[in-house]
Structure 1
Amino acid sequence: RSFLCDHVEVVELTTNLRLLTEGHSDEREFANYLLDVGNSNISVEQSLDFVYADPKNNFTNPVWFANRTIVTPTNEAAQFVDDLLLTRIPVHKYTILKLKKRRCIMLLRNLDATNGHCNGTCYIIISLHDHVIEAEVTSCPYAGSTLLIPRVPHVSQEMEFPFTSTGKLFPVKPAFALTCYKAQGQTFEQIGMYLPAQFFLHGQLYVALSRV
């Protein structure tokens, strides 16, 4: 402990004086939003209503889906949001992956990197078949191009089983919600947040809040 500590007075800033002046309504609204996020006052339903306000009338518009997402700290939280939003889309679903036409998915394999079909690329499902998914790219610079996504070999090595199982799976995951890691470097018009758990690093929270 330094001898200087006895001569230091800690002053906490509790009022943002700049926001009290005229002409800062947007900044004031954003500051209040950050406080609500920190105090856990925003539910996942509120985020869904704000970001995906009218999915029934927009589910055929890939651009509408491409410009919005909900940022989460974990894959489990992203899966929860995806499942919740999927119930709002009025199309038949495949129960294995819980896929529907017009839903957002993310590619998990590099299938054609030259044309932008690589790990992390987002798509809108055009049609579903037993062995292939036809999807349209939503992220620039390849937005609008289509890809037939096949089943690919997958080896499961779950620790609780004393054997290795092999099969073929679609290399995709739902993408209505993204983890902070996957959202880095992307630009959206509308974003919500769902924080059932803390981020691993403070920098990840900054990335999420800066996207909102």
Structure 2
Amino acid sequence: MTNRQCFEALDRSLRDIVSEKQPRFQEIPFGGKVLVLGGDPKQILPVIENTTRAQIINASIFRSYLWKDIKRLYLNENIQLKKLDATTSEYNELNEFSEWILKIGNGTIQNKSSCTVDDNPDYDIVEIPDDLLIKQADNKIKALVDSTFPNFTLNYNNAEYLRDRAILSTTDEIVDEINDYMLSLLPGNEIEYYSADSISKCIDTCNDANILYPIEYLNSLSANNFPAHILKLKIGVPVMLPQNLNQSVGLCNGTRLIVTNLGHNVIEAVVITGTHIGEKVYIPRINLTTQGCRWPFVLSRRQFPIKVCYSMTINKSQGQTLSNAGVYLRKPVFTHGQLYVAVSQVKERKGLKILIENEDGTCGNKTTNIVYKEIFDVR
């Protein structure tokens, strides 16, 4: 998901640094330093708002001048689905599931009812197997929670239980709705933390900005990977960091933690993913600013940099490994690789359940799969 400009900036910097003493390294990629990159072209590409498919593809490492100098090593076995001492039937089931996931990622899955959307070859309609579907649900969020978090009231403070489960969806609005429902099931008193919002004092901000954009308006704004104005928490709730805070103690983008104590100005939590599992950390309020040009100003928000993560967006789930994943497609996927990422996070087939909501509110069995196949040409 990293924009190719990041790699190219690192390349130029290393060439400049190393060539100070050895000029010949000015012409060698990354100044002669060996870099190991890991990725999968079937997964989500760099996220760039309000751009075309061509611009998204052009931002990937596959379109960089560096790609011709990269040696490609291919991994052909799905270690996540590998099971020791598997019986013949278990092995066949895992192999069939692995092949189905690959077909989703490559955009080659063929169903008798498959068709394209609006004659666009990159938008396929995929029929999901019956055993992976939640077919009937009056309360769809409750059905997903019961499937993904069985016996939740008995295990709500079990770190291993929470680490291995999550509900995935396409947008932050749906994710927040699911998290609010889960929070209501958790015993204990709920504490609300309010942010302090202001307009960043940058040179491009007009002098009347504070009059034009009152605090109440700033409080109502939300952005991707940005904490909400009102953060609702209880002791025992799992949270996720939306950005890097302190990599030396494992506080990185995507790290999940369980809240163990709630103070006025600091939150105590225990890390449950990554390389520092079990370590107790303290998270303070910090100043965060929005990125991009969505508004004619830069929003500065002082808030705890965490989000409740019983549910998370499909984009944010990339890189997670789950034993139980519920996928809620109230809105269909909207970019390359999202469906592939959603179905490939689980360790086994029975751990995946998908609920597809049709426009009339009924549960369906078909959904959109988007694959930009020109990405695969560079492999």
The TM tier, using the shorter chain, reads 0.7 to 0.9
Could you say if the C-alpha distance between residues 163 and 52 of structure 1 is closer, same or farther in structure 2, counting changes exceeding 3 Å?
same
1:71 matched residue in structure 2: 168
Q: Is the 8 A contact 2:268 2:281 kept in 1?
A: yes
Residue 194 (structure 1) aligned with residue 328 (structure 2): yes
Sequence identity, in percent? 32
2:241 matched residue in structure 1: 107
Q: C-alpha displacement at 1:189, in angstroms?
A: 1.1
Aligned equivalents of 1:136 and 1:191: distance in 2?
22
Residue 48 (structure 1) aligned with residue 145 (structure 2): yes
SS of 2:344's partner is helix
2:131 pairs with one of 23, 33, 52: 33
After superposition, residues 82-101 of structure 1 pair within 5 angstroms as 82-95=179-192, 96-101=230-235
Instruction: Please give the root-mean-square deviation of Cα atoms over the aligned residues, in Å.
Output: 3.0
Q: Deviations over 1:8-27 (max 9, x none)?
A: xxxxxxxxxxxxxxx58968
1:203 matched residue in structure 2: 337
Q: Is the 8 A contact 2:162 2:238 kept in 1?
A: yes
Give the TM-score normalised by the residue count of structure 1. Answer: 0.76
Could you say if the C-alpha distance between residues 197 and 41 of structure 1 is closer, same or farther in structure 2, counting changes exceeding 3 Å?
farther
Aligned equivalents of 2:131 and 2:286: distance in 1?
43
Aligned equivalents of 2:259 and 2:136: distance in 1?
33
Q: Deviations over 1:135-172 (max 9, x none)?
A: 11111322111210000013479x99987765521011
Aligned equivalents of 1:72 and 1:132: distance in 2?
30
2:28 matched residue in structure 1: none
Aligned equivalents of 2:344 and 2:290: distance in 1?
37
2:261 matched residue in structure 1: 127
Q: Tell which structure's C-alpha radius of gyration is larger.
A: 2
Aligned equivalents of 1:208 and 1:167: distance in 2?
31
Could you say if the C-alpha distance between residues 160 and 50 of structure 1 is closer, same or farther in structure 2, counting changes exceeding 3 Å?
closer
2:250 matched residue in structure 1: 116
SS of 1:110's partner is coil
Give the TM-score normalised by the residue count of structure 2. Answer: 0.44
Structure 1 spans left out of the alignment, 5+ residues = 1-22
Structure 2 spans left out of the alignment, 5+ residues = 1-88, 98-127, 193-229, 346-351, 353-379
Q: C-alpha displacement at 1:190, in angstroms?
A: 1.0
Q: C-alpha displacement at 1:188, in angstroms?
A: 0.9
SS of 2:337's partner is helix
Q: C-alpha displacement at 1:55, in angstroms?
A: 2.2
Question: How many correspondences in the alignment?
Answer: 187
Aligned equivalents of 1:123 and 1:115: distance in 2?
13
Amino acid at match of 2:131: Y
After superposition, residues 171-186 of structure 1 pair within 5 angstroms as 171-186=305-320
Q: Deviations over 1:39-75 (max 9, x none)?
A: x656222110011122221122111111100111111
Q: Is the 8 A contact 1:62 1:102 kept in 2?
A: no
